[in-house]
Structure 1
Amino acid sequence: MRQSSEIKFNVGSDDERGTLGEEMTVADYFAKKYKRTLKYPDLPCINGMAGSRNQANSLPMEIVKLVEWQRCFRPLDSVQRKLVTTMSSAGPNARYQQIMGYVHDPRILPAPEVIYRAQQQEDVVEHVSIGKWAIRDHFYTVPDIQKWAVLYFADEKPNEVVINVLNDLFYFV
């Protein structure tokens, strides 16, 4: 991708007659034709197409406005494909370091609300304080659990404590 201060073309050329016009850069063309000095002449130009002639136009990035959800129907060239692949790929170590680098400030979660109802009554919302709430005679009808599972996420194999907890769970079920 070349900069607007580098891309040159012939202004006023007539390809049918073979005449060449004045050669100038994209940045100079916008300064002369539109009286607009580019703020960022070192940015690369966008390749646009001019109508039905399929004539390539190099447009400075700062003057182009993209419509939301606008797509490019032309496939990427080899340099662009390589750039996309390079920018979107990262090694496992880099990804691990990025994930482990996420740090959030600790916060105290608000106390939960317990919603229950006595038979034939409206829902009762109780705010839990110090881990206790009154639930005497206030239960939903709970279905039996037919199947259940335990997921263990850790770097190492389950140790003896984890195995004992699982065995106790199986014993009570």
Structure 2
Amino acid sequence: LVEWQRSLKPLDTTQRSLVSSKSIISPQSRYDQIMNIVHNREFDKDSYLKELNIDVNTKEMLEIKARVLSPPQVKYRARQGRGDAIEQVDCGKWKIRNWFYTTPEIQRWGIIYLGDTYDDRVKYILQSFKDQFPN
């Protein structure tokens, strides 16, 4: 590989750990970097910000109360109508141990337009929307 060339192969364990060590930054380091940028930038002396009447508080970051949410559950109908299946999301993905329910085919559908005017432009827009769907 040449520098900046992209590889399509998956990274091995050593490469992954190297990428992680270079790209993951601790919260304290990130905080320190942001505060250094804020202090070095000297927003209080910026004539453009003064002209626009913008004040940047450089003393401390805003602190808010927060909590970590529990991972969501994905609920869907199990195959062959055996009730609902619930899957736990883990690291942004979930294992679909069951199958998704097959939805029935839509035989007829329509569009209801509730606008004030119904002119050629609106007809064209609605027709274009309708034409995007199979007959």
- Structure with higher Rg: it is 1
TM-score, normalisation: structure 2: 0.29
TM-score, normalisation: structure 1: 0.24
